[in-house]
Structure 1
């Protein structure tokens, strides 16, 4: 027999509740909620803004703000106490309003009324005082954290670029810089590690004990890796690049944090000359090291580092303190998960650790870009959703955790609610340990706890105070979160799930959308609506496929995460079982990768948008307008169908329609020069959707976008004229989602790192690599070409990669084109003397050598006498390309000179007198 304890004035008899429900069957879910409690929202927002402003404010300002806030709060509290007394409502009128169950006094078993206590007239005093106190607390916390960057000897030594011996404590996972093309080569790859300087010794022997956050920048290897993807089948961190002054410029991902750690598997960039992987990448957080390094100022003010610590020696550092037990445990678990996924397909091997614990060390730049294009990158970062999925498995679907009919593993195993709560807390703690207890993980755990509370209680309205409390506590604990895009996105996404998503889901269900589909669609749309403006600031792009891609991926994320966590837990105990679980998880993981790749490959997957807060405001305004118009359109199904069809056309962009609307590419185009910045990438039309690509440029995204606009899906041959990075680094973009027959290169295999990169990319896709030879002739359809250079004759051996460029004479439906690669004057003169020299007379189109540099042989220009000269160069490039003397020489021969830095992408069409060129 069960004894129910009730509070007579607050909880009505169950029969009365059912009678008052108005339903024939009564109220099966007899819990009512009052108005949303927003009292904690202003203090949380005020603390957030204060922390963001006070991190780098002078101490005087911080102290003044604290004193003013404390005095004002004290005055308000004293005024309230003296003027209102006990705080009861003043004046006549009822003491309650609709909102809570009460029993009118003296009426016995009279019908129950819904009432809500009237707020005291003194509430503004209390609220304002609370805001002021939170502002004071945030100012104190931010002031202390900001002072950490300014105190001690490290900032002064950094301004002097001093060389010191320092004892540092690692505070983050090591990660690699993103590969970056610098001229014709790749910038050296470095390992980035966040750390605290605990002890510093200057050159003259002065020793100081401190605790100053720095960014360690370590030379990973003696030479840079292959362009575009330094990892082979791994990815670089994308955490920025190294500037000439040795200060890193740290790029952010859509979560606002530095992009995830560098490679953990085959990583040529992190290997030294003897082939061994950089030992710096094996370090765990909390490890203490002694290093000799050079200090330099941070690149930008307002970051959470006081200086950059540049370490030139890539050898194993001196370890003076082992990592903590928690970090060693986390390292073993993460390593076990990576081992369990080693035998999976490439996408699953890369994605599964990211979905489970945020370990994106194997994500290739290509896959990373696909996830960013579709706004799926949040699935690869440690977030509250990871924790929520596991806890939902324990407690069951939303709203049932406190009911007799609750589901999940806990009730099936006979676990009580109290024990279930303890297990949930233990899982949360384990999540923090495995995913690293850094601020981003703590943020995820806090937001996940809020979502867990929503699952456990089913009371979403009451979760707003919980979210505000989480924001307030996190900002006070780590004020740097106030400037974190990731923190902002987490709060916005959680708020969207608690406020907009339930309303939109109910609206969809009223229009006969199935409940599960309605909830998923509403959650994806609500999160996208609130987060898109912030994502636009980070990426300067708005995804048009984010909602459908997130909706399609949502159904696979939960099983992949659950199976992945199971593999993580079993790997230390039974690796065969872990491998089996990882294999099962590879199916939903592969589905997520396919969704991302398919969505990103669509021509209209996204549109460029101003990457500023003004652009964010414009996008927010546009979102509001779309929502308001959408509400009206829902009443008119035919208009909804028309708008859906128009959106589909924008995203798919059928080539015939695109050509009519934009005029690009022009009908009958024969040759196109892509705008890829300071580099070369050209396309020879070889039939519908088919083209021969000559060079790939420095950026995979730019060349991929160009090929998509041209409608190229099949490439019988890719010709790489030579191995400089500005011609080959974009090769992954050329190969992305296209059928490629072969890759042809020059026989001069330097630089060796770029050669290795090209061969890895080809081998990964099983594409044969051949060498071009002078005299070789090929044909596909109406397109034919002949290789003129390099010459196999020993006396004409090229001197360096530029002079070894593959030179092509192309014929396309009566059009003659000469593509010179980066030939310099010695090779140009040798080409004129070679047996191929007579073929150079009178061409229609000349692809000017070496981006129009001043190093040209004017006799070759005179012999070629092109009608049209095209130059590929980057806007404001530091080399002065194209040289005025080269442009003048070309025009002196009667050529029309066009350049991509001013005219954009160029396409040539027609022949003879009908020869014409169009710009994108």
Structure 2
């Protein structure tokens, strides 16, 4: 018997005819969204001109002419559609009144179009714990007579949160509001409406929305008994409810580029549809898998069931950008399935993106939508090629497919992420690979919990227990990945940084080609690359110090760079692996990174000057993986929310919490001692508020007679600073940690009495408070002090003594 090999049928080239119209629609829509109402006649005229030009080109028979005509028609539709879609932002009384010098208070009737979203009153501000809500709505009527259709954002203050928290989309309400101008944050709305009290319901929400709300509430109730991480993550993964997601876990997911798992995404819909249709490669054949194949459903019935499932998914999980993209792509594929046409993923994606942009132009400026499209494009184009290359080199089937898909999605999304945060996650691909196996079980068990809860709460709780296993794994991957010293790499921001990363990715892919071909060098190159990445991610302290020079030898004090917040470190002995930490900043990852870079493994005492988020939210990062003796706190238990979080974190780590005592003196080793100067007991009534209850201290580093004195004033404001000055005679110091991030509120006489030679200011770049104040900086310089600030210099180390004092900065700017 002779076997005759048959050449495989060549793969059909990808159909890219819809790519140009889709790109044109996206670009035109994004551009038109940035134009005001005064450009409307010009834009409509341009759309008409594009239509005429396209009609002329259609007379040609060349395929290129038809493609150009289709692209011009798509651009015309985008121009006209976006112009008309945004017209409501500029007409009616609301936009004009919001732009007036004194926006009035009004009574409006509105229809809620989105779920209430919890927020805080300030971004890491000085008055945390003030919960807020924002929700999207459309104003239907102003007063008793004026009808309108104006999109707005309703802002609800802390005292009214309870009355608005359970509002369901499609509900019609009457509310008293005060108009606020629409900022860049609310650019898709005509104005922000600050609610003045609770709303009055005019019409109940639709039945579908009521059912969706009950299902979402049931999922929350069924997960109430879970541990903190699964309880917060599972509702987010299943239905996009992130109200209980711990802030530090959310940051960990972002640091590892697993942020798409903290909220429902298009991947969830793909998993649900895969249960019905089977794998995409078999869904359109008679041998398809899934429930449809198992039950023998006809193609059209399968398509109708899939469409109904998609609509239900969007209703329950809310029309987030990624969900809309996945739903539209799925519906296009289901239409192809119902008509018996072969499904082509890339044309389906282009069709979905084009239709969605015409339907909702604001998606053109949505980063969530952009990331969803880029990731899907990578999975459809580069993913199969890279997976095949890995399989050809002996990788197991599943691992090759997962690694190729993850790397492809990361390659296309990474440059866009630079526009949001100027950093690269070096652990994104391994963390996504480790999370891959748990996503589908967590999603399906979560949806099973959602569906079963209306029938049986105990059964739903059992399913939630099962879902907590893969969900807990996802949380553990994110936390451990984010905790690695080199998890993130700083990168230039903006368009330049995005373009630079895109070019670097292309260069890396291109340079790998000759290495793949040269089998002799492949093992060596792979080994060197693996070792380099391991060293970059693990960053052993001795190697990092050798490579970067940070921290400098024999450092005596370090002010960490924790963005808009405070964190200082006083070493105990030399070499310093033990230190006293004063405040922990707003970010656990930044706090942990600072101590890792300094090589600190033991912290006998953490001093938290006061209970504000920008001073205490980083506490979990200090506690993680270190021996901590105690946490010392101020005597004012305000704000209560942050105090409760500090106590909970400390209790979980089994670390005692100690109150500050006036004039307390402590020492840690022969070279470090300190005295608490503030607060008094009882608190001074002339200096109210949490800032004025900050722990202030003077630390003495070194041994007499050549000691270094450092004053740390927390966030004390002028009343407390003046009271402190009147209570005792402050000694002159060499180093001053300037109070309240260098704000304008300083007691000049106290600053003069301290007379520092080096003034350090901890603040974040472009922070919303204008810190530090130019007047404060000028005042310090007039006293002869050198002023350094973390927003320009990064972390700052003080070395030497009173006679040899100088500072070393981690950043480029001195």
- Scaled by the length of structure 1, the TM-score of the pair is 0.78
Q: Measure, in 2, the Cα distance between the counterparts of 1:545 and 1:459.
A: 41
Residue in 2 that maps onto 1:190: 132
Q: Measure, in 2, the Cα distance between the counterparts of 1:212 and 1:602.
A: 48
Q: Measure, in 1, the Cα distance between the counterparts of 2:131 and 2:664.
A: 38
Contact 1:786-1:809 at 8 Å conserved across structures: yes
The alpha carbon displacement at 1:335 in A equals 0.7
Evaluate the alpha carbon distance shift between residue 679 and residue 71 of structure 1 in structure 2; reply closer, same or farther with a 3 A threshold. closer
Contact 2:561-2:794 at 8 Å conserved across structures: yes
The alpha carbon displacement at 1:576 in A equals 0.9
Unaligned runs of 5+ in 2: none
Q: Measure, in 2, the Cα distance between the counterparts of 1:860 and 1:150.
A: 51
Matched, 1:771 2:655: no
Residue in 2 that maps onto 1:691: 579
Q: Measure, in 1, the Cα distance between the counterparts of 2:662 and 2:32.
A: 67
Residue in 2 that maps onto 1:135: 75
Contact 1:854-1:883 at 8 Å conserved across structures: no
Q: State the Cα deviation string for residues 83-124 of structure 1 (Å, max 9, x = none).
A: xxxxxxxxxxxxxxxxxxxxxxxxxxxxxxxxxxxxxxx212
Q: State the Cα deviation string for residues 858-891 of structure 1 (Å, max 9, x = none).
A: 68966x78776545466662534645444444x4
Q: Measure, in 2, the Cα distance between the counterparts of 1:123 and 1:757.
A: 65
Alignment of 1:345-384 (within 5 A): 345-384=227-266
Matched, 1:175 2:153: no
Evaluate the alpha carbon distance shift between residue 165 and residue 443 of structure 1 in structure 2; reply closer, same or farther with a 3 A threshold. same
Matched, 1:284 2:172: no
SS of the equivalent of 1:670 reads strand
Evaluate the alpha carbon distance shift between residue 208 and residue 664 of structure 1 in structure 2; reply closer, same or farther with a 3 A threshold. same
Unaligned runs of 5+ in 1: 1-17, 81-121, 222-271
Q: Measure, in 2, the Cα distance between the counterparts of 1:411 and 1:400.
A: 10
Evaluate the alpha carbon distance shift between residue 182 and residue 53 of structure 1 in structure 2; reply closer, same or farther with a 3 A threshold. closer
Matched, 1:585 2:525: no
Matched, 1:73 2:54: yes
Question: Which structure: larger Rg?
Answer: 1
Q: State the Cα deviation string for residues 493-525 of structure 1 (Å, max 9, x = none).
A: 111111111111111111111111000001000
The alpha carbon displacement at 1:326 in A equals 0.8
Contact 1:374-1:549 at 8 Å conserved across structures: yes
Evaluate the alpha carbon distance shift between residue 820 and residue 33 of structure 1 in structure 2; reply closer, same or farther with a 3 A threshold. closer
Q: Measure, in 2, the Cα distance between the counterparts of 1:418 and 1:455.
A: 7
Alignment of 1:298-447 (within 5 A): 298-300=182-184, 303-313=187-197, 316-402=198-284, 406-437=288-319, 441-447=323-329
Residue in 1 that maps onto 2:535: 649
Residue in 1 that maps onto 2:379: 497
The alpha carbon displacement at 1:615 in A equals 2.0
Residue 398 (structure 2) aligned to one of 516, 520, 532: 516
SS of the equivalent of 2:226 reads coil
Contact 1:374-1:599 at 8 Å conserved across structures: yes
* Alpha-carbon RMSD: 3.5
Q: Measure, in 1, the Cα distance between the counterparts of 2:82 and 2:682.
A: 69
SS of the equivalent of 1:680 reads coil
Residue 153 (structure 1) aligned to one of 93, 96, 117: 93
Q: Measure, in 2, the Cα distance between the counterparts of 1:405 and 1:362.
A: 43
Contact 1:696-1:720 at 8 Å conserved across structures: yes
Q: Measure, in 2, the Cα distance between the counterparts of 1:475 and 1:902.
A: 40
Which has the larger share of helix?
Answer: 2
Residue 712 (structure 1) aligned to one of 593, 596, 600: 600
Residue in 2 that maps onto 1:908: 798
SS of the equivalent of 2:658 reads strand
Contact 1:461-1:499 at 8 Å conserved across structures: no
Q: Measure, in 1, the Cα distance between the counterparts of 2:687 and 2:362.
A: 53
Evaluate the alpha carbon distance shift between residue 403 and residue 777 of structure 1 in structure 2; reply closer, same or farther with a 3 A threshold. same
- Tell me whether 366-375 or 845-854 shows the greater mean CA deviation: 845-854
Residue in 2 that maps onto 1:42: 20
Residue in 1 that maps onto 2:554: 668
The alpha carbon displacement at 1:732 in A equals 4.8
Contact 1:829-1:857 at 8 Å conserved across structures: no
Residue in 2 that maps onto 1:559: 441
Q: Measure, in 1, the Cα distance between the counterparts of 2:492 and 2:265.
A: 27
Residue in 2 that maps onto 1:242: none
Contact 2:671-2:702 at 8 Å conserved across structures: yes
Q: Measure, in 1, the Cα distance between the counterparts of 2:625 and 2:400.
A: 32
Residue in 1 that maps onto 2:364: 482
Q: State the Cα deviation string for residues 214-264 of structure 1 (Å, max 9, x = none).
A: 11112122xxxxxxxxxxxxxxxxxxxxxxxxxxxxxxxxxxxxxxxxxxx
Evaluate the alpha carbon distance shift between residue 452 and residue 638 of structure 1 in structure 2; reply closer, same or farther with a 3 A threshold. farther
Q: Measure, in 2, the Cα distance between the counterparts of 1:398 and 1:778.
A: 67
Q: Measure, in 2, the Cα distance between the counterparts of 1:857 and 1:66.
A: 62
The alpha carbon displacement at 1:683 in A equals 0.8
Q: Measure, in 2, the Cα distance between the counterparts of 1:762 and 1:886.
A: 37
The alpha carbon displacement at 1:195 in A equals 0.4
The alpha carbon displacement at 1:436 in A equals 2.4
Evaluate the alpha carbon distance shift between residue 386 and residue 461 of structure 1 in structure 2; reply closer, same or farther with a 3 A threshold. same
Contact 1:782-1:812 at 8 Å conserved across structures: no
The alpha carbon displacement at 1:808 in A equals 3.8
Matched, 1:211 2:192: no
SS of the equivalent of 2:187 reads coil
Q: Measure, in 1, the Cα distance between the counterparts of 2:668 and 2:339.
A: 67
- Scaled by the length of structure 2, the TM-score of the pair is 0.87
Q: State the Cα deviation string for residues 265-318 of structure 1 (Å, max 9, x = none).
A: xxxxxxx6xxxx6221111100111011122331139932111112132xx310
Q: State the Cα deviation string for residues 59-94 of structure 1 (Å, max 9, x = none).
A: 3223222322222232233344xxxxxxxxxxxxxx
Q: State the Cα deviation string for residues 15-71 of structure 1 (Å, max 9, x = none).
A: xxx998617xxx8xxx76422222222222222223333344633223222322222
Q: Measure, in 2, the Cα distance between the counterparts of 1:453 and 1:629.
A: 42
The alpha carbon displacement at 1:811 in A equals 4.9
Q: Measure, in 1, the Cα distance between the counterparts of 2:677 and 2:660.
A: 8
Evaluate the alpha carbon distance shift between residue 531 and residue 867 of structure 1 in structure 2; reply closer, same or farther with a 3 A threshold. closer
Q: Measure, in 1, the Cα distance between the counterparts of 2:556 and 2:336.
A: 60
SS of the equivalent of 1:278 reads helix
SS of the equivalent of 2:372 reads helix
Residue in 1 that maps onto 2:771: 877
Evaluate the alpha carbon distance shift between residue 373 and residue 351 of structure 1 in structure 2; reply closer, same or farther with a 3 A threshold. same
Contact 1:689-1:712 at 8 Å conserved across structures: yes
Q: Measure, in 2, the Cα distance between the counterparts of 1:215 and 1:793.
A: 45
Contact 2:712-2:738 at 8 Å conserved across structures: yes
Contact 2:586-2:614 at 8 Å conserved across structures: yes
The alpha carbon displacement at 1:741 in A equals 3.3
SS of the equivalent of 1:22 reads coil
Contact 1:537-1:610 at 8 Å conserved across structures: no
Contact 2:89-2:95 at 8 Å conserved across structures: yes
Evaluate the alpha carbon distance shift between residue 577 and residue 504 of structure 1 in structure 2; reply closer, same or farther with a 3 A threshold. same
- Tell me whether 37-46 or 575-584 shows the greater mean CA deviation: 37-46
SS of the equivalent of 1:481 reads helix
Contact 2:140-2:147 at 8 Å conserved across structures: yes
Q: Measure, in 1, the Cα distance between the counterparts of 2:603 and 2:340.
A: 55
Q: Measure, in 2, the Cα distance between the counterparts of 1:152 and 1:491.
A: 35
SS of the equivalent of 1:907 reads strand
The alpha carbon displacement at 1:717 in A equals 1.7
Q: Measure, in 2, the Cα distance between the counterparts of 1:45 and 1:843.
A: 62
The alpha carbon displacement at 1:452 in A equals 7.9
Contact 1:460-1:499 at 8 Å conserved across structures: no
Q: Measure, in 1, the Cα distance between the counterparts of 2:572 and 2:335.
A: 60
Q: State the Cα deviation string for residues 797-816 of structure 1 (Å, max 9, x = none).
A: 88445665434454555355
The alpha carbon displacement at 1:491 in A equals 1.6
